[in-house]
Chain A
């Protein structure tokens, strides 16, 4: 705790009072420890930008029907295990395609998190923090956009494709707000200009003239940011084709599987190729309080085929080394199957998975007990999970941003990077 508040005072006195640390980007320098403690780091990041794709299993996919099989145990359910391309590692029979990608991914079987319901869990597993009445924490997407985004390019840095979570950029500010794409690649309101090209173009020239009049003797940082955001909005007009998939889908249908989620995963890969820092792709309806087996039987196969296709595609294109693929939902599901044939919410012991970007493939980290009730070995909290994600993306998890005067590290104070997961 001492470090936490200690550095806050340090920064709030020196940075906020004197205003001496405001940057050309208009924000306060947030990376106190990182920048000053490790000067080589920032340059390294500039050289090689990283990307992150979050596959969001909304409602909470079951660990017992994916990565933590308890066949034959009372909690095991009806699915059987299958062998994978990693000797000794087995996964659910619902995942034949992922079984052949296990050498690329690291499974965490020892998640233990602190929000057991959906709204809190969705917030938690997007931000690393529990909801607070007083602080608007940013989502991982906004953080990755801030530290791995590339200002001045055509596409937004944080794109959400048909997914959940409304924490958005939080206190990082509107610049890192997610750009939300619909389930079929449909764009958010007001993305399309209805103006004829020449009208838009002459209007733009006049606007540039007017802006230059305001800023010619006034080096206003606000005006500069305002103008940069205007330029970004304008550039978006020329790249809307990037969100369309129909022309290419036939070529990839087999790889990603014929599903909406498959299409959205292909879109995510294309956006990574276009330089987008963070893309979240959602799949819904895992909240199987009843008929858990049927629901997973419906949802997991298209999901896992798309995921496997995505990993294959990223690998083939040489993108996997710099792209972290995160697989998680907000919660896991209960060991006990209730009398509706369902599994309820459970966060004492559940599974997530990571791949790419320096994550050790073929690894199973942590262990649950025989019935999957408790973590038997190496618990991973939400904070540890996000700290590891940031570390893998070359973002210092202890980096601080400010909500008012409150310093907020990217991963909650006390989180640890699970170094065993990193190659």
Chain B
């Protein structure tokens, strides 16, 4: 485990993944395999060297090509989670499915893919006549996967219990489904508020509950969409804690009232699109997404639901966040193309990786993932690449 208080980047690599926006990423626990997915539904697996710094240099992008393509999803990938076993991932997609992929499974055939199409075109424009015709890379294709099919709309959120035994997924019809990974069966499900979208999910450490964030864009003029941030007992599908109610006792999510609009103005902003639960289960984190001015992350008491503090230093909204395993820091990525490490206790920023690209609304980092030892961090970047950072603590 890394000592986060001393963490600093030792290397930074950028894997090209062009053609459609990378939207999801997961490092396998070992940190030596990486899976990334994009808006078109393409999924690739890369093998990473054990020591990137020694093998390819500090910041020079390794000449790494994906080794495997996971073929099956028919629309954009929204989330990828890596199971603890070390060779299985789960993916959620706009194609209404969740899929489980065993990366040790047999492949069926190969394909030639080009993941640096835009870079080649830029080179061609500058006069490199070979750029566009250069061969792509050959990847093995895997179609073998388990398809979890109960959703009837975009599956937009996916989370894994700490022990890897349960998945929870949510969609754009406000349906939440809890899956038993071993049997691949839906063991519980419930519905959020009418018209809402499930945009973020996280299990509590004991896996008995899940934190669920719901929002939607307004359906009509003067509409104040119903936001909800609630803890549900996954056994009986009952709400055990309503975090917006805890902050705003008079809040009626169904009313397009002034109070309801204040909840958005003061707390939800453009939607709480990223959530996590601290390793000790005592704190809940919910980050504001969208094009809000500042992607504030609310830290809430898991018992009372009250706001403990609001932290975060992103410009515009966050897109993904998670606690470090020591519970002392929050990692987050957002629409300012940075990955920030924020101290939970006081909101101070420990570290910012990557820099804003300048100009208003210039690209996003869309997802983040860490290896089991937390020494390797990955982030998907809509500019057509996946970042991998090697962290050290000496």
Contacts and interface: CB of A to CB of B under 8 A. Distances in A.
Touch A–B, Cβ below 8 Å: yes
Interface of A: 74, 78, 80, 162, 183, 259-261, 282-285, 290-291, 294-295, 297-299, 301-302, 339-341
B221 A283 contact: yes
Interface stretch (B212-220, B235-243, B278-286): B212-220
A301 B76 contact: no
Contacts of A297: 172, 197, 216-217
B221 A162 contact: yes
B258 interface: no
B361 A298 contact: no
A283 B220 contact: yes
A157 to B, nearest CB: 24
A284 B218 CA distance: 10
Nearest to A288: B217
B220 A294 contact: no
B221 A339 contact: no
A291 B290 contact: yes
B291 interface: yes
Please name the 6 residue pairs, one residue from A and one from B, whose CB atoms are nearest each other, closest first: A298-B217, A284-B221, A260-B220, A340-B361, A302-B219, A294-B217
18 contacts: A78-B39, A259-B220, A283-B221, A284-B221, A285-B218, A290-B290, A290-B291, A291-B290, A291-B291, A294-B197, A294-B216, A297-B172, A298-B219, A299-B217, A339-B382, A340-B291, A340-B335, A340-B361
Q: Does more than half of chain B's interface fall in helix, strand or loop, or is it mixed? A: loop
Interface string B188-218: 0000000001000000000000000000111
A331 B223 CA distance: 23
A301 B223 CA distance: 14
Nearest to A294: B217
B322 to A, nearest CB: 22
Contacts of B335: 340
B221 A78 contact: no
A224 B52 CA distance: 90
A302 to B, nearest CB: 5
B170 to A, nearest CB: 15
B222 A260 contact: yes
Contacts of B88: none
Interface string B304-317: 00000000000000
A301 B197 CA distance: 14
A88 B20 CA distance: 28
A211 B252 CA distance: 55
A334 to B, nearest CB: 15
Contacts of A80: 75
Given A339-B363, A339-B382, A302 B217 contact: no
Interface string B120-147: 0000000000000000000000000000
Contacts of B197: 294, 297
Given A78-B39, A295-B217, A298-B218, A260 B361 contact: no
B149 interface: no
A262 B218 CA distance: 14
Interface in B325-367: 335, 361-364
Given A78-B75, A78-B76, A340-B291, A299 B382 contact: no
A290 B223 contact: no
B94 interface: yes
Contacts of B225: 298
B2 to A, nearest CB: 32
Given A260-B220, A294-B197, 8 more contacts: A259-B220, A291-B290, A294-B216, A297-B217, A298-B216, A298-B217, A301-B219, A340-B335
Contact of A339 (B76, B217, B219, B362): B362
Contacts of A339: 361-364, 382-383
Nearest to B361: A340
Contacts of A285: 218, 221
Nearest to B335: A340
A178 to B, nearest CB: 17
A290 B76 CA distance: 18
A299 B364 CA distance: 24
Nearest to B359: A339
Contacts of A340: 291, 335, 361
A183 B217 CA distance: 19
Nearest to B41: A78
Given A80-B75, A290-B290, A339-B363, A260 B217 contact: no
Contacts of B290: 290-291
A183 B219 CA distance: 13
A297 B171 CA distance: 13
B361 A302 contact: no
Contacts of B222: 183, 260
Interface in B265-303: 290-291
Interface in B218-234: 218-223, 225
Contact of A78 (B94, B217, B223, B361): B94
B42 to A, nearest CB: 12
B223 A260 contact: yes
Interface in B356-385: 361-364, 382-383
A294 B364 CA distance: 16
A260 B222 CA distance: 9
A302 B291 contact: no
A297 B94 CA distance: 12
A183 B335 CA distance: 34
B251 to A, nearest CB: 20
Contacts of B364: 339, 341
Contacts of A78: 39, 75-76, 94
A78 B76 CA distance: 7
Contacts of B39: 78
Most buried by A among B39, B94, B223: B223
